[in-house]
């Protein structure tokens, strides 16, 4: 396919230095390199909450995550139209990657500046603005026929959110004397910035947010989910890195992998396949709406749930180490709620994702919903258990969900996988040709 034609067979031409995404395009190494920064960003969000284990710290972490997720989503939308590993797009993505890394590095100072050096909140706001400007410039260049409404839907929220983040970084300290008032004013500005960004996604017309390659779109989101789940494993690894090896630490590590594996199964076993097939079968305008609702919006609570789970896992090693604590030491309330509430939020987000994206597999929705409610109900009991036993109860709940789904969804799983294999094969059952 020539670079002058859009994917999907349209006649509109792309400007010089750009190539279109096609139905066979897969996620590129340039996109993977950009996404690697988010592994660090997820770790930093967890550290931000760990340093302030309170409702305020949790709210700050979730707001930072929401801001970063939307910035990532904007590049994901653009990367589904123009190839990320070619020409101008690759140069822009390479320029965006160090900016994103600086944003991640300043997450712990996004609200409170550390002594010495540059002003952390201002650096974060400046990095966010630079990242959005790069996206806007590439989006404008790649869309010669951009409507005035589409341009306003991109520019206005970017300016509004940037102004609000700069205001949160500078204004509250000069307006209020009490620290509590400063914190609330900062949170208010951040909440408004998030609302501005996410509301703008609803205002953009479907024709201006087309999804050309369903496989590329779902694969990109699947990979960022793997990065988030990997951060949960990194959290317990970092938490126990300075501790002596013990049976308790080994047990906690194994149970953490079981919990993470249950989340991976929940997302990838059949629901990811069903989502991809639903995207492929949808009309172009409906596909864009599904992509926005099910992926750009409903993946955020799943990511947030994993981050909360990572927060609880990060605390786990210190509470199971026999040289630091008594074997029957319990996790603090925040640790238990992070573990069980994070897993429940992930499952509830995934239920909402399935209800929005697909009718292909509904039998697994009820077990996931019941498990999420069960996890919330188990929180008081988990608070009474030793830390290792609380983690074991969570792992047992995840394993129970997996076993139930194997039983109730076996026929649908087989049909979905056979359908996916048929789509990936060329004529006569041979593998399809190389991607473009």
Q: Looking at the structure, do residues 196 and 250 belong to the same domain, yes or no?
A: no
Average pLDDT score, the chain: 84
Q: Is the pLDDT of residue 325 over 80?
A: no
Query: Which stretch of 39-53, 285-299, 315-329 has the lowest confidence by average pLDDT?
Result: 315-329
Cα separation, 112 vs 133, in Å, equals 25
Q: Which residue has the higher pLDDT, 274 or 394?
A: 394
Q: Is the pLDDT of residue 127 over 90?
A: yes
Query: Which stretch of 63-72, 124-133, 136-145, 425-434 has the lowest confidence by average pLDDT?
Result: 425-434
**Which two three-digit tokens encode residue 347?**
């499952």
Does residue 436 sit within a domain? no
**Domain's final residue, options 183, 209, 235:** 209
The whole-number average pLDDT for the span 153-177 is 89
Q: Looking at the structure, do residues 293 and 170 belong to the same domain, yes or no?
A: no
Does residue 13 sit within a domain? no
pLDDT at site 317: 78
The whole-number average pLDDT for the span 190-204 is 88
Q: Is the pLDDT of residue 214 over 90?
A: no
pLDDT at site 320: 76
Q: Looking at the structure, do residues 257 and 165 belong to the same domain, yes or no?
A: no
pLDDT band, residue 12 (cuts 50/70/90): low
DSSP code of residue 9: S
Does residue 260 sit within a domain? yes
Q: What is the separation of C-alpha 299 from the centre of its chain, rounded to a whole number of angstroms? A: 6
**Domain's final residue, options 178, 209, 240:** 209
Query: Which stretch of 37-46, 175-184, 194-203, 423-432 has the lowest confidence by average pLDDT?
Result: 423-432
The whole-number average pLDDT for the span 45-64 is 91
Cα separation, 385 vs 72, in Å, equals 39
Q: Looking at the structure, do residues 180 and 108 belong to the same domain, yes or no?
A: yes
pLDDT at site 324: 63
Say how many domains are in the chain: 2
Q: Looking at the structure, do residues 241 and 384 belong to the same domain, yes or no?
A: yes
Cα separation, 395 vs 385, in Å, equals 14
The per-residue pLDDT for range 388-422, each reduced to its tens digit, is 899 999 999 999 999 988 887 766 667 766 666 66
Does residue 8 sit within a domain? no
pLDDT band, residue 176 (cuts 50/70/90): confident
Q: Looking at the structure, do residues 296 and 391 belong to the same domain, yes or no?
A: yes
Identify the CA nearest to 166 among candidates 137, 184, 190, 182: 190
pLDDT at site 10: 38
141: domain range? 29-209
**Percentage above 70 pLDDT, the chain:** 86
Q: Looking at the structure, do residues 76 and 204 belong to the same domain, yes or no?
A: yes
pLDDT band, residue 221 (cuts 50/70/90): very high
Cα separation, 395 vs 400, in Å, equals 9
Q: Which residue has the higher pLDDT, 235 or 121?
A: 121
Does residue 5 sit within a domain? no
Task: Return the axis-axis angle of helices 271-281 and 247-268, rounded to nearest 10°.
Answer: 20
Q: Burial of 419 by CB count in 10 Å (0-12 exposed, 13-18 middle, 19+ buried)?
A: middle
Q: Looking at the structure, do residues 237 and 140 belong to the same domain, yes or no?
A: no
Cα separation, 354 vs 365, in Å, equals 8
Q: Looking at the structure, do residues 169 and 66 belong to the same domain, yes or no?
A: yes
In this structure, what are the phi and psi dihedrals at residue 82, rounded to the nearest 5 degrees? -125, 140
pLDDT band, residue 6 (cuts 50/70/90): very low
Q: Looking at the structure, do residues 155 and 275 belong to the same domain, yes or no?
A: no
Q: Which residue has the higher pLDDT, 153 or 390?
A: 390
pLDDT at site 289: 87
Task: Return the axis-axis angle of helices 387-408 and 342-357, rounded to nearest 10°.
Answer: 20
What number of CA atoms fall less than 13 Å from residue 166's CA on the CB side? 11
DSSP code of residue 359: S
Cα separation, 341 vs 259, in Å, equals 13
Does residue 215 sit within a domain? no
Q: Burial of 190 by CB count in 10 Å (0-12 exposed, 13-18 middle, 19+ buried)?
A: buried
Does residue 105 sit within a domain? yes
Q: Which residue has the higher pLDDT, 128 or 283?
A: 128
Q: Is the pLDDT of residue 2 over 60?
A: no
Q: Looking at the structure, do residues 197 and 290 belong to the same domain, yes or no?
A: no
pLDDT at site 422: 64
DSSP code of residue 297: I
pLDDT at site 164: 96
Query: Which stretch of 279-293, 313-327, 376-390 has the lowest confidence by average pLDDT?
Result: 313-327
Only one residue has tokens 């993977």, namely 32
Over its C-alpha atoms, the chain yields an Rg (Å, rounded) of 23
Query: Is residue 171 within 8 Å of residue 164, measured between CB atoms?
Result: no
Cα separation, 196 vs 190, in Å, equals 10
**Domain's final residue, options 162, 187, 209:** 209
pLDDT at site 428: 44
pLDDT band, residue 161 (cuts 50/70/90): very high
Does residue 192 sit within a domain? yes
The per-residue pLDDT for range 65-121, each reduced to its tens digit, is 999 999 999 999 999 889 988 889 999 999 999 999 999 999 999 999 898 888 989
Q: Is the pLDDT of residue 323 over 70?
A: no
Cα separation, 331 vs 296, in Å, equals 34
Q: How far is CA 257 from CA 100, 234, 264, in A?
A: 28, 10, 10
Q: Looking at the structure, do residues 260 and 370 belong to the same domain, yes or no?
A: yes
**Which two three-digit tokens encode residue 281?**
């079968």
| DSSP characters over 164-224 | HHHHHHHHHHHH-SSHHHHHHHHHHHHHHHHHHHHHHHHHS-GGGS----HHHHHHHHHHH
pLDDT at site 153: 80
Cα separation, 58 vs 48, in Å, equals 8
């Amino acid at each position: 396919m020539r670079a002058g034609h859009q994917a999907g067979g349209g006649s509109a031409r792309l400007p010089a230095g750009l190539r279109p995404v096609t139905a066979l395009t897969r996620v590129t190494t340039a996109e993977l390199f950009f996404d690697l920064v988010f592994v660090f960003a997820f770790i930093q969000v967890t550290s931000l909450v760990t340093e302030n284990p309170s409702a305020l710290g949790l709210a700050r972490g979730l707001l930072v995550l929401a801001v970063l997720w939307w910035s990532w989503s904007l590049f994901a939308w653009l990367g589904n139209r123009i190839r990320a590993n070619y020409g101008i797009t690759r140069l822009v993505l390479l320029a965006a990657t160090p900016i994103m890394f600086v944003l991640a590095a300043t997450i712990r100072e996004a609200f409170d500046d550390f002594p010495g050096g540059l002003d952390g909140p201002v650096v974060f706001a400046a990095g966010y603005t630079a990242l959005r400007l790069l996206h806007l410039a590439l989006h404008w260049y790649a869309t010669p026929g951009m409507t005035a409404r589409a341009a306003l839907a991109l520019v206005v929220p970017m300016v509004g959110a940037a102004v609000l983040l700069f205001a949160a970084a500078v204004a509250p300290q000069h307006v209020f004397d009490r620290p509590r008032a400063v914190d609330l004013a900062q949170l208010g500005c951040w909440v408004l910035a998030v609302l501005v960004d996410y509301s703008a996604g609803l205002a953009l017309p479907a024709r201006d947010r087309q999804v050309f390659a369903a496989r590329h779109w779902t694969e990109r989101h699947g990979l960022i989910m793997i990065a988030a789940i990997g951060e949960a494993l990194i959290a317990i690894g970092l938490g126990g890195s300075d501790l002596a090896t013990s049976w308790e630490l080994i047990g906690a590590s194994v149970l953490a992998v079981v919990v993470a594996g249950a989340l991976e199964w929940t997302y990838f076993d059949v629901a990811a396949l069903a989502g991809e097939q639903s995207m492929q079968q949808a009309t172009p305008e409906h596909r864009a709406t599904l992509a926005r609702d099910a992926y750009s919006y409903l993946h955020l609570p799943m990511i947030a749930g994993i981050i909360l789970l990572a927060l609880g896992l990060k605390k786990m090693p210190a509470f199971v180490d026999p040289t630091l604590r008594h074997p029957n030491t319990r996790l603090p309330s925040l640790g238990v709620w992070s573990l069980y509430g994070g897993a429940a939020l992930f499952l509830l987000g995934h239920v909402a994702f399935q209800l929005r994206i697909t009718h292909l597999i509904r039998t697994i929705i009820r077990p996931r919903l019941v498990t999420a409610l069960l996890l919330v109900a188990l929180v008081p009991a988990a608070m009474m258990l030793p830390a290792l036993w609380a983690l074991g109860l969570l792992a047992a709940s995840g394993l129970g969900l997996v076993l139930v789904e194997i039983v109730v969804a076996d026929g649908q799983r087989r049909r979905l996988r056979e359908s996916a294999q048929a789509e990936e094969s060329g004529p006569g059952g041979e593998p399809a040709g190389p991607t473009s």
